[in-house]
Every structure is written in structure tokens, then in C-alpha cells.
């Protein structure tokens, strides 16, 4: 759902910024008129740097702290580069939250497998907060996370804290390992075949580069998971966030309005198609 003035940005301000890796920063934002009810895990906001442009960025904070808006951003273009350079106190524009989130209600009573590649851990982090806050409502919870190298891992202190918990299993792999690395080496889909979960009573939440998601889906299906139990988050060409401009049309769907989280059986025909 979106407000009637969904095209009108609210004024927001940077509260805090911290560096996650060479190109990735996490920004804490406070906004005028932020709803106390917060957001759903998997939703996104549109962030504007005035005079530069606007981009969709997934929310990466705790949905239980609804008035605290957290966004983790890779600086890869003019707008995202301008965003991560904003200092505390600087203003920006904000619209949202928008979109369909992760299926937390459907996950109740089932094993939950979170598969994240690179920056894909950021949109999955709110779902993980929700799972841990209501841990008794879910079966086994397992996070499989892959990064290019140890220096590219997001939320490293938090990952270490989660690894010390007895009620969640975390496996981390890197594409390239430096001397002294003792963990897994390889792409994240290779972790799926060794993961302990009941494919007949599990749900998978997948987010990362599209090629990684395609290989992860193949591995999940080989493990016996049904297409209807696999969910993925995709962001393609989102511009207006309310399904009006048509830039993000993906087959018969609009990513901003009908996603960004989709059940795989809705997208399997289109996932391998390239953007035009």
C-alpha cells in the first residue's frame, strides 16, 4: 500500500553513516512524518539526493524499530555515490516504504533458509531480525552468505554475534580467500547441498545478483524444494515505485508494485531474460 502523496518526497536527514566495505555504506535516516507502524521486511524506499536524482534502496534495519530507517548502499552510480557522501545532518528526499515483502507469515512453523550473495544480505537482514525476534514460531533457521572476499562481508560484527547463537546456523563462503582464511571458499549456491533442512517443510528466501539467484534456485530444486516455496527479491529498473511509469515491467508484473519479493514460480519463465 502507498499513501495518496506517494510521488511527493518527505524531507529526511542523515543521522549516522558507517562504512561496511570499500564501496558499501549503511545510512541511518530520520524522516518527517515517518509512520510508527514501520515497514515490512523486504520493502524499499526511494531516496533522493536533490539536484542529482532518485534511486530505490531496500530497507536493511530492524522492522521492530519502525521509525529508524536504515539503508545499506553500494556506490555504483551518480545518485548512490552522492547518497553515501552525505554527512550526518544533511537532508535528502524519501518516499515509501513500497513493495511486497518477504513471506513471514507463510514461514511460520517451517524451516527457513536464507540465501544471500553480496549486497543481498541487506534486504534479508530485516527478515532475519523478525525470525530471531519470534524464534519459537519457526523451525530451523539457516543463513547461507557469500561475499567476494572477507573484506567485502557486510555487518561483520553482527554476523559474529549471530554465529554465537545456538538457535541459528550460519555458513559463510568467499569467492577468493586470503592467507589465514579458514572458512568456506566458493560461490554461495554450493553451500545449499550441505545445508540441513527439510525440503518438504521449508521456505527459502534468496537475494543477490541474478546469476547467483539462478544457481541457488537450481540447487534448491535439486535438494527437493518446490518452486512455490522459493522466494526471491529482484530490483530491475524501478523508477516511480508505484507501477505507473512501466520501466520495471518484468513479464506480466511490475517489480516495484508486485515485488520486489516474488515467489519463484511467478518468475521462472522470465528470470533468465536480460534487461533491454
Task: Encode pLDDT of 42-64 as tens digits.
Answer: 999 999 999 999 999 999 999 99
CA distance 113 to 186: 18
Assess if residue 244 is contained within a domain. Answer: no
Whether residue 221 is found in the same domain as residue 200:
yes
How many other C-beta atoms can be found within 10 angstroms of the C-beta atom of residue 127? 25
Assess if residue 243 is contained within a domain. Answer: no
Assess if residue 250 is contained within a domain. Answer: no
Whether residue 85 is found in the same domain as residue 118:
no
Assess if residue 242 is contained within a domain. Answer: no
Edge-first strand listing for the sheet containing 169-174: 184-185, 169-174, 141-147, 111-117, 202-207, 230-233, 261-263
User: CATH code at 143?
Assistant: 3.40.50.80
Q: Is the pLDDT of residue 240 over 90?
A: no
Assess if residue 263 is contained within a domain. Answer: no
Percent of the chain at pLDDT > 90 equals 74
Which domain-ending residue is among 98, 114, 134?
Answer: 98
User: CATH code at 20?
Assistant: 2.40.30.10
Assess if residue 3 is contained within a domain. Answer: no
Whether residue 20 is found in the same domain as residue 78:
yes
Judging by DSSP bridges, how do beta strands 141-147 and 249-250 pair with one another? unpaired
Which domain-ending residue is among 98, 125, 157?
Answer: 98
Whether residue 109 is found in the same domain as residue 85:
no
Tell me the residue range of the domain where 125 lies.
Answer: 104-233
How many other C-beta atoms can be found within 10 angstroms of the C-beta atom of residue 158? 13
The phi and psi torsions of 111 (rounded to 5 degrees) equal -65, 145
What pLDDT band is residue 255 in, cutting at 50, 70 and 90?
A: confident
138 contacts 131 by C-beta, under 8 angstroms: yes
Whether residue 213 is found in the same domain as residue 150:
yes
Could you tell me where the DSSP H helices lie in 111-242?
121-133, 156-163, 210-222
Question: Among residues 46, 38, 195, 202, which one has the least CA distance to residue 126?
Answer: 38
- Reported as a single tens digit per residue, the pLDDT across 62-77 is 999 867 899 999 999 9
Whether residue 172 is found in the same domain as residue 66:
no
The phi and psi torsions of 271 (rounded to 5 degrees) equal -60, -35
CA distances to 123, 190, 216, 217, 258 from 262, in Å: 13, 23, 15, 13, 8
How many other C-beta atoms can be found within 10 angstroms of the C-beta atom of residue 230? 25
Q: For the chain, first and last CA: distance in Å?
A: 28
Q: What is the pLDDT of residue 241?
A: 84
CA distance 72 to 66: 16
Whether residue 20 is found in the same domain as residue 39:
yes
Whether residue 80 is found in the same domain as residue 166:
no
What pLDDT band is residue 1 in, cutting at 50, 70 and 90?
A: very low
Whether residue 87 is found in the same domain as residue 115:
no
Whether residue 167 is found in the same domain as residue 222:
yes
Whether residue 34 is found in the same domain as residue 132:
no
Which domain-ending residue is among 48, 66, 98?
Answer: 98
139 contacts 108 by C-beta, under 8 angstroms: no
Assess if residue 239 is contained within a domain. Answer: no
Q: How many helices (H) and strands (E) does the chain have?
A: 7, 15
Q: Is the pLDDT of residue 235 over 60?
A: yes
Q: What is the pLDDT of residue 242?
A: 82
Whether residue 202 is found in the same domain as residue 128:
yes
Assess if residue 271 is contained within a domain. Answer: no
- Reported as a single tens digit per residue, the pLDDT across 126-144 is 999 999 999 999 999 999 9
Q: Is the pLDDT of residue 101 over 90?
A: yes
How many domains would you assign to the chain? 2
95 contacts 46 by C-beta, under 8 angstroms: yes
Q: What is the pLDDT of residue 54?
A: 96
Amino acid at each position: 500500500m502507498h499513501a495518496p502523496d506517494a510521488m511527493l518526497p518527505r524531507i529526511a536527514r542523515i543521522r549516522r553513516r558507517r562504512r561496511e566495505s570499500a564501496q558499501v555504506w549503511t545510512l541511518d535516516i530520520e524522516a518527517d512524518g515517518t509512520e510508527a507502524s514501520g515497514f515490512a521486511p523486504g520493502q524499499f524506499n526511494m531516496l533522493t539526493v536533490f539536484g542529482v536524482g532518485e534511486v530505490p534502496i531496500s530497507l536493511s534495519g530492524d522492522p521492530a524499530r519502525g521509525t529508524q530507517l536504515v539503508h545499506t548502499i553500494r556506490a555504483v552510480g551518480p545518485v548512490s555515490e552522492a547518497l553515501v557522501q552525505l554527512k550526518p545532518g544533511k537532508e535528502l528526499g524519501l518516499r515509501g516504504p513500497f513493495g511486497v515483502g518477504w513471506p513471514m507469515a507463510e514461514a511460520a512453523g517451517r524451516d527457513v533458509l536464507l540465501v544471500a550473495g553480496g549486497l543481498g544480505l541487506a534486504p534479508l537482514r530485516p527478515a532475519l531480525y523478525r525470525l530471531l525476534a519470534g524464534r519459537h514460531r519457526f523451525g530451523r533457521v539457516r543463513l547461507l552468505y557469500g561475499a567476494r572476499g572477507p573484506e567485502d562481508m557486510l555487518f561483520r560484527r553482527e554476523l559474529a554475534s549471530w554465529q554465537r547463537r545456538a538457535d541459528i546456523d550460519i555458513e559463510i563462503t568467499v569467492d577468493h580467500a586470503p592467507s589465514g582464511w579458514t572458512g568456506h571458499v566458493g560461490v554461495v549456491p554450493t553451500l545449499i547441498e550441505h545445508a540441513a533442512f527439510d525440503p518438504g517443510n521449508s521456505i527459502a528466501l534468496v537475494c543477490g545478483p541474478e546469476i547467483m539467484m539462478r544457481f541457488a534456485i537450481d540447487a534448491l530444486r535439486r535438494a527437493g524444494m518446490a518452486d512455490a516455496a522459493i522466494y526471491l527479491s529482484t530490483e530491475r529498473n524501478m523508477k516511480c515505485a508505484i507501477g505507473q511509469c512501466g520501466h520495471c515491467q518484468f513479464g506480466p508484473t511490475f517489480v516495484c508494485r508486485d515485488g520486489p519479493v516474488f515467489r519463484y514460480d511467478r518468475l521462472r519463465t522470465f528470470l533468465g531474460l536480460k534487461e533491454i
